[in-house]
Structure 1
Amino acid sequence: MMNPREAITTARAVAERLREDAVERLHANQPPLGEIQLLRESGLLAVDPDDHRTTHAVTRLVSAGDASIGHLLGYHYLHLWRASLYDNDELARSLRQDVVAEQLFVAAVSNPRDTVTATEVGDGLSVSGRGAFATGCAVADRLFVSATRSDRGARLVVVARRGAGGISHPSDWDNLGQRLTASGSIAFQDVRIDPVDVLGTFPVDEDESSPRWLRLSLVSLAFQAVLTQVLVGIVEGALAEAAQYTRESSRPWPASGLENAVDDPHILAGYGDLVATLRAARLLAGEATRAFAEADAAGLALTSAERGRAGLTISAAKVVSSRTATEVTSRIFDLTGARATARSSGLDRFWRDARTLTLHDPLVYKAQELGTSLLTGKVPPITAYS
């Protein structure tokens, strides 16, 4: 596995490579097979998934070059990490070994609104149903599938391999942003799963205060922490490209009496304000990562109160990063000028990506959690999104 310093250096290089042709790839709107291959060749897929500080930093840096690919990479780390939370230790270990040896890319079907069922057939399982949103699944080598046992009502997670019979990917991802995440729906028709490929099961009525349940509940916080880093990465990328555009292409407004846009005090102050906002969001995102890493390190000793505090820290970061992303990616046009709205500039992609990601789950519920904690002292309930 890469050491942290090497991973950060590599992430910066990959981000720059993605930035170079981001606009062309976006307009082509093809499945991100080439981008996944770039991640393979860079070695970033093999970063230690338990090193949250490094994986989150890598996710943010790559997202600055291309938010879709940063999103895919962040989820890849998340799924490899969560594999060790379930019952099948041998499968979790072999998955990590295979990822390192073969540079495999991992994705998952885990939306709580999915209707995927697993039925016992012979000595294995048959999985059928449909997932509404399955980020990266169309280009994944290994696929984690959350399903409900048809005979017991229990939830389980199984692992399917690329090319498994019965899996199809309808071409229905046509959203405003994050267009290269291959996040369309996925369908399963009698997909055979061997017993050795069942990561784990847990009953739907398990006590939420039990150590095992609290540990598993960290998965929902992991998604929020990763998305927070992607949002901050979008802001970093937007500011960097907007600044370059202003330096190289923006024209001063005639009333300013200046020869260069970079000498306009209004533009200078505008960028300065956005830089300060970015730094605040980045600090909060780092705090969220630290809170998540500490909760994960507690293992089965994690308490409900500790889990709740980690959730509040991550919710605060998600609120600020979401608002920062939509604000900055819009305001950059005030500083770059009307010509920057040309399709060829590609600056619109940052706003479209931010607007799409910030709708992943309603921000108002994160704010409600924080307000409830302030006024009543209660920690937020455990949900699929917090």
Structure 2
Amino acid sequence: MNPTEAIITASAVAERLRKDAVERNHANQPPLAEIELLRESGLLAVDPDDHPTTHAVTRLVAAGDASIGHLLGYHYLHLWRASLYDNGELSRSLRHDVVTNRLFVAAVSNPRDTVTATAAGDVLSVSGRGAFATGCAVADRLFISATRADREARLVVVAHRGADGISHPPDWDNLGQRLSASGSIVFQDVRVDPSDVLGTFPVEENESSPRWLRLSLVSLAFQAVLTQILVGIVEGALAEAAQYTRERSRPWPASGLENAADDPYVLAGYGELDATLRATRLLADDATRAFTEADATGLALTSAERGRAALTISAAKVMSSRTATEATSRIFELTGARATTRSSGLDRFWRDARTLTLHDPLVYKVRELGTSRLTGEVPPITAYS
């Protein structure tokens, strides 16, 4: 599927998701049907190395349903990062299987997880628990980040759906992103063949080494994808709120107007949100560009180049988070009191935005931006920047 086809398909999928998003959100069921929709559409097979296209697709789908955009954006991210590790044969095999068998990929990679891989004869035994394992309960392949039992190295291994010893406690009942299957996951003596190890690297690796710098782009990839999802939420919220205003909102008596859509204060409100969205979208696309350029540098990436990309992405993440929480709240001022009914479903945009913006504290990104402005220092490499 070429980029143009991917964008057209993503728009159609988003519209399909939008039609029953309220009902599905209220039902709060595992997104099995939604993953099947992504399979049938062909979107799972979009080239994960084409970041401008995958980020645009993610944003479009997120406008229809932020949870499904989240799942799809992470699917692309995990397939891309597989190529950064040592086992090129496994990475290529995974990509081939995704295209031919329409597989969906998810990962267990929360930095605070306690998952251990122990040698057990000719195989590895993986045990532990992961939190916020987005998409894992409905994934065909799982990337599992684990620490070796001797604490000297970390591993990324691949497991198949339904493997013995994997369970998914039904504990995802959060405010938003309700269909992202982001609950916890438990591993109890899950057997993994050495050929299914994507990569191994020391716990204490030299942060200036070319290999480590390249791997550190993974944390920036998460931030760039989340930024696009947040922009998608705003796009979806404004589109749906505008439709509500046109078709259902009643004019305020003091306005002297017959239609709420003619109220100059309502028009100005939408205008302000539209301008902010346009600016935030440009920042998000700038973040995608910065990430794409850093990725294209390969092992020649320098700490300074990596740092500049991190600052660009952090700026976009800060503004997309603020725009998302503000816009999804302000739409109620423009739609009226009746829009707060549960049946309208407009609240889901705020709930999704509020949940995603708590992924990691913005204040640390703001501090890094301020430090760079005053001292010229680039941000330290962390799991979130």
User: What TM-score do the two structures reach when normalised by structure 1?
Assistant: 0.99
**CA displacement, residues 32-72 of structure 1 (integer Å, 9 cap, x when unaligned):** 00000000000000000000000000000000000000000
Counterpart secondary structure, 1:212: helix
Per the alignment, residue 382 of structure 1 pairs with 381
Letter matched to residue 97 of structure 1: H
**CA displacement, residues 208-261 of structure 1 (integer Å, 9 cap, x when unaligned):** 000000000000000000000000000000000000000000000000000001
1:1-386 equivalence runs, <5 A: 2-386=1-385
Q: Is the 2:133–2:183 contact (alpha carbons within 8 Å) kept by the matching residues of 1?
A: yes
Please, what is the CA RMSD of the aligned residues?
Answer: 0.4
Q: Is the 2:151–2:203 contact (alpha carbons within 8 Å) kept by the matching residues of 1?
A: no
**CA displacement, residues 256-281 of structure 1 (integer Å, 9 cap, x when unaligned):** 00000111000000000000000010
**CA displacement, residues 316-370 of structure 1 (integer Å, 9 cap, x when unaligned):** 0000000000000000000000000000000000000000000000000010010
Structure 1: distance between partners of 2:204 and 2:262: 63
User: What TM-score do the two structures reach when normalised by structure 2?
Assistant: 1.00
Counterpart secondary structure, 2:183: coil
Structure 2 unaligned spans of 5+: none
Once the two structures are TM-superposed, the CA of residue 205 in structure 1 deviates from its matched residue by 1.0
Once the two structures are TM-superposed, the CA of residue 152 in structure 1 deviates from its matched residue by 4.6
Structure 1: distance between partners of 2:7 and 2:338: 34
Letter matched to residue 43 of structure 2: L
Once the two structures are TM-superposed, the CA of residue 153 in structure 1 deviates from its matched residue by 2.4
**CA displacement, residues 172-221 of structure 1 (integer Å, 9 cap, x when unaligned):** 00100000000000000000000110000100111000000000000000
The number of equivalent residue pairs is 385
Structure 1: distance between partners of 2:377 and 2:258: 57
Structure 1 unaligned spans of 5+: none
Counterpart secondary structure, 2:269: helix
Counterpart secondary structure, 1:126: strand
Structure 1: distance between partners of 2:312 and 2:369: 9
Counterpart secondary structure, 2:198: strand
Structure 2: distance between partners of 1:170 and 1:329: 31
Letter matched to residue 266 of structure 1: Y
Letter matched to residue 160 of structure 2: R
Structure 1: distance between partners of 2:116 and 2:73: 27
Letter matched to residue 211 of structure 1: P
Q: Where has structure 1 moved over 3 Å in runs of 4 or more?
A: none
Taking every aligned residue pair, what percent have the same amino acid on both sides? 87
